[in-house]
Structure 1
Amino acid sequence: MNVSNSSNATSAPIEQYQVWQKVFISLFLTVLTVGTVIGNSLVCIAVGIVRRLQSPSNLLIVSLAVSDLLVALLVMPYAAAYEVESYWILGRMMCDAWTSLDVLLCSASILNLCCISIDRYLVITRPFDYALKRTPTRMGLMILAVWLISAIVSIPPVFGWKTEPPEGHCIITQDIGYQFYATIFAFYLPLGVMIFIYYRIYTVSSRIAKREKRSQPQLNNIEIPLQEPSAANGSGGGSKSSKKSKSGHVSNREGKAIVTLGVIMGGFTACWLPFFILALIDPLCRQCIPKGAISFFQWLGYANSFLNPIIYARFNTEFRQPFKEILLCRCRGINSRLRNLANH
C-alpha cells in the first residue's frame, strides 16, 4: 500500500534527487523489479513442469508467487518512476488504478502467506484427517477467498472512500477510517493469525519430537512407513517415507516446509511491519515521520516479493534443484533427472 512520500507536499512537486542519485536509484529499483519477476516466474514454471511439486499445498505457493509477480509487473515500475521523478505524470485515472492494484496485490501476497501457514498447521496437527480434505478444490477455494478479501480491502476508494491527493502526487487515500480498515484487514489481522499459528506449529512439532526421542529406545529399529499427506491425496509429487516413528510424525519433508515457512514469515514481518506502523501514524501525525522514511519502508515491503523465491531456493531442496535446471534451460526431461538425483 502506498503512503505519501512527503506528507507536507504542496501542489508544486519538488524534485528530491540530483541526477546521479536518480541514476543510482533507477538502477537499484530496476534490478529489484527484474529480480522479483525472474524469481516468482521460476516458482510458477517449476510447479507447472515438475510433477513432484504439483501438490495441492503448492497451489497456495503458486498463488503467492503470482501475487508477487504482479506486484513486480504492475506496481513496482510505476512506484519506481514516481520515486525517481518525485511527481506523478500519468493522470488521476491511472493513479486510482495504480493505488488500487497496489493495495490489492500486496494484500493478496500477505493473505496467501496467512493461508500457507494455516495449511501447514493443519498438516502437522491433523495429518491424516486433513490429507483427505487437502484437495485441489479446497485449495482453490482458499485461493479464491484470498483474492476476494484482497479486492474487498482495495475497492472502497474506487467508490468514494478517499481524500484527493495534492496536485502532481499519487498516494493512497489518507482518510483515517480507511487507513485503519485497510491496514487491519490487509496486515495486522493476518499477521496475528500467522504468529499464533506458527507458535502452535512450533509447540506441536517440539512436543512430537520430544515424544519420539523418548520412544526411540523401545522401537528396536522397527521402521514404520508413513505416507505423505500429498501422496495419500493422490495429488502427484508425494512419496512414501520410512521413519522410526509413531502416527502423527512430522516427516522430513514437512519439517523442512516448517523451517521454510518460519523464514518466510520472519522476512515478511521484517519487510512489512515498519511500513504498516507508519501507515497508521502518517494520517494522525504528518509531522512525525522523517522525509523519505515512507519511501524507504514502502520499497522494503515490495522487497518481500523479491525475497520469497530466494527463501524457497535456499531452504527448500524441492525447489532448489528445479530452479537450477530451469535457469540452465534444461526443462526437457527435467522430471527423470530430478528423480535420478533423488534416488542418489
Structure 2
Amino acid sequence: MRGFAYPIWQIVLITVACSIIIFGTIIGNILVCIAVSIVKKLRTPSNLLIVSLAVSDLLVALLVMPFAVSQEVMGRWVLGKTFCDAWTSLDVLLCTASILNLCMISVDRYFVITRPFQYAMKRTPSRMALMIVAVWLGSALISIPPLLGWKTDSSSGYCSVSQDMGYQFYATIGAFYFPLTVMIVIYYRIYMVSSRIAQAEAKSKPAGDCSGGVYTSGGSTPMRKDSHVSSFDHRVDEENHNFPNGAIRKQRDDSTQSMIPKKEHKYFAAFHKKSRLNRISSSKERKATKTLGVIMGAFTACWLPFFILAVIKPVCYHVPDWLSSLFLWLGYANSFLNPIIYARFNRDFRTPFKEILLCRCLGINRRLRSESYAEQYGVGTAGTLRDCIRPPVDTVVRYHSQGQTIVKLGNGETPTNDGTATGNLPPAKL
C-alpha cells in the first residue's frame, strides 16, 4: 500500500499547484459559458461545440480533480471500492469528452474552410446538437465497460483506471490516438487550403483597397491623383458589380448627361464595403484556424505523455508513481489551458471575458458592436470612415458637347483645352 511518501513542504506545494489548476479551470470555463450565453455575436451554432468543451472541462475540475488531489496527498484511496469505480469511469468519460469535443471542433472548422457555401446551409443548431450527442455517446462507450466488468482488481489501495491490457488498448485508441490522428490530418488539410487562399490573395489585391491614397477596383489597375482615364461610363452594371480588367467600365458617348449620377457613388461605397467585409471575414477565419492550431498543440503536449504511459503500464509494472501522477495532472491541465488559449488568441472571447471579470455585463453587446464597427473599417471616427469607404478618386471624364470636352462633377464643370480634365468624385453619403 502506498503511504505518505511526501514531506510536508511537498504536500503544500502539490496542494497549491493543483488548487491553482482546479480553480483556474472552473473560472475559465464558467467565463466561456457565460460569454456565449450573454453575448449575441457568440451565439452561433459552432460555439455550441465550444460550450460542450467548456462543460466537459468544467466537470473535470468539479468532479474529478478534487478527488485526485486527495488521493495524491494522502497516498491512498479512502472512499471505498464502489466510489472508486464510479470516479474512474467519470474521469474517463469527462476527459474523453473533452478530447472528442476538440476533435469535433476541428472537423467543423475543416468544413467551414473547405466547403464554406455548402456547409453554411447545414451548420444549424440541430446539426451541432447531433455532433455534441455523438461526442458524449462516444465517451460513454469508452468509460462504461469497466463498470460492466472489463477491469482488473487492484489490491494496492490506490484507485486507478482498469489496467486490463485489452481495455487499455480499446480506451487509448478510442479516447486519444484515433482523435489525435483525425485532428492532425484535418489540421494539415486546413493549413494547405489556408495557404493556397493566402497565396491567391497575395497575387491579386482585393477590390476597393483603401490604403495610401490609392483606390483599386477589381484588384488590379490603381487610380491615383495623376491618373488619366480616356472616358468614364457612369452606367454601372447592376447585374455584375465586378468590373473587368480591374478598371471601371468605359464608354464613349457623344451625347451624355453632364452630371454623374449619385447612384454610382453608392455602388462604389457598397462595393468597397463588401470587399472589405470579405477580407475581414477571411482574416477571422485564419485567426480561428490559428487558434485551433494552438489548442491542438496544447492538447497534444498535455495528453500524449499520459497516453504513452497508459500503453506501457499494463506490460511494465515498474513505472514510478510520481511519473504517473505528473502525466495525469499534465493531462488535467489541458482543461485549464483551453479557456486561456481562447482568451489569448480569439478577440471574440477575450473582450467579453474582460468585461465579465470587471462586472460590466450591462450593455456589453452595445460596446462590442461599437468595437466591431471600428474594427471592420479600421477607423475610430466617422470622418475617417467616410474617406475610407469612398476614397477621393481623381478621374477624367470626357464628354462631347458642341465640339468641346467638358468635365462636370458634383461640384461644377471644368472645360479644358486638350479635351481632358481632372476632378475629385464627391464622397459617398453614409
* TM norm. shorter chain > 0.5: yes
Partner residue of 2:306? 275
AA paired with 1:184?
I
**Which residue is equivalent to 1:200?**
189
Look up the match of 1:252.
283
Residue 16 of structure 1: CA displacement?
1.7
Shift of 1:212: 2.1
Q: Which runs of 5+ in 2 are unaligned?
A: 209-215, 220-240, 243-272, 375-430
Say which SS state the counterpart of residue 216 (structure 1) adopts: coil
**Aligned length in residues:** 316
CA deviation after TM superposition for structure 1 residue 218, in Å: 8.7
Query: Matched residues in 1 for 2:143 and 2:68: separation?
Result: 17
Q: Which of 275, 281, 291 is the matching residue for 1:243?
A: 275
1:320 pairs with 2:350: yes
Out of 19, 23, 45, the position equivalent to 1:30 is: 19
Cα deviation for residue 291 of structure 1 reads: 3.9
Write the distance in 2 (CA, Å) between the matches of 1:294 and 1:13: 14
**Cross-structure match for 1:338:** 368
Distance 1:167 1:214 in 2: 65
Partner of 1:188: 177
Residues of 2 paired with 1:293 and 1:18: CA distance?
Answer: 17
Q: Distance in 2 between matches of 1:328 and 1:48?
A: 17
Shift of 1:68: 0.3
TM-score by length of 1: 0.88
What is the deviation of 1:52? 0.2
Q: Distance in 1 between matches of 2:194 and 2:176?
A: 26
SS of equivalent residue, structure 1 residue 243: helix
Name the residue aligned to 1:147.
Answer: 136
Report SS of the residue matched to 2:173.
Answer: helix
The CA deviation at 1:217 is: 8.1
Asked if the contact 2:306–2:328 (Cα under 8 Å) also holds between the matched residues in 1, the reply is: yes
Which residue identity does 1:202 align to in structure 2? Y
* Matched position secondary structure for 1:251: helix
Q: Which runs of 4+ in 1 moved over 3 A?
A: 217-225, 241-246
Letter in 2 for 1:23: V
Q: Which has the higher contact order (CA 8 A, sep 6+)?
A: 1
How far 1:342 moved relative to its partner? 2.0
Match of 1:300 among 306, 326, 330: 330
Counterpart Cα distance in 1 of 2:218 and 2:46: 30
Q: 2:204 is paired with a residue of what secondary structure?
A: helix
Shift in Å, 1:168: 1.9
Report the Cα offset of residue 250 of structure 1: 6.7
Is the contact made by 1:275 and 1:297 (CA closer than 8 Å) also made in structure 2? yes
Pairing 1:41–2:30 present: yes
The yes-or-no answer on 1:70 pairing with 2:70 is: no
Within 2, Cα distance between the matches of 1:221 and 1:198? 34
**CA-CA distance at 1:245 after TM superposition:** 9.8
Rate the CA distance shift 1:244–1:327 in 2: closer, same or farther, 3 A.
closer
Contact in 2 for aligned 1:222/1:244 (Cα 8 Å): no
In the alignment, what sits opposite 1:176?
165
Query: Post-superposition shift, 1:216?
Result: 2.6
Percent identity (aligned): 64
CA RMSD for the aligned pairs? 2.0
Give the match for residue 13 of structure 1.
Answer: 2
Amino acid at match of 2:129: G
Aligned-residue offset at 1:102: 0.5
Structure 2: distance between partners of 1:218 and 1:327: 40
**Could you tell me whether the CA contact under 8 Å between 1:40 and 1:68 is conserved in 2?**
yes
Deviation digits for residues 6-27 of structure 1, max 9, x if unmatched? xxxxxx3221211121112111
CA distance in 2, matches of 1:295, 1:268: 18
Deviation at 1:253, TM superposition (A): 1.4
Q: Secondary structure of the equivalent of 2:91?
A: helix
Q: Which runs of 5+ in 1 are unaligned?
A: 1-11, 226-240
- C-alpha contact 1:71 1:106 (8 A) present in aligned 2: yes
Give 1:167 deviation, angstroms: 4.3
Q: Which residue of 1 aligns with 2:250?
A: none
Query: Which of the numbers 53, 57, 65 marks the counterpart of 2:42?
Result: 53
Q: Which residue of 2 aligns with 1:88?
A: 77
**Alpha-carbon distance in 1 for matches of 2:277, 2:31:** 35
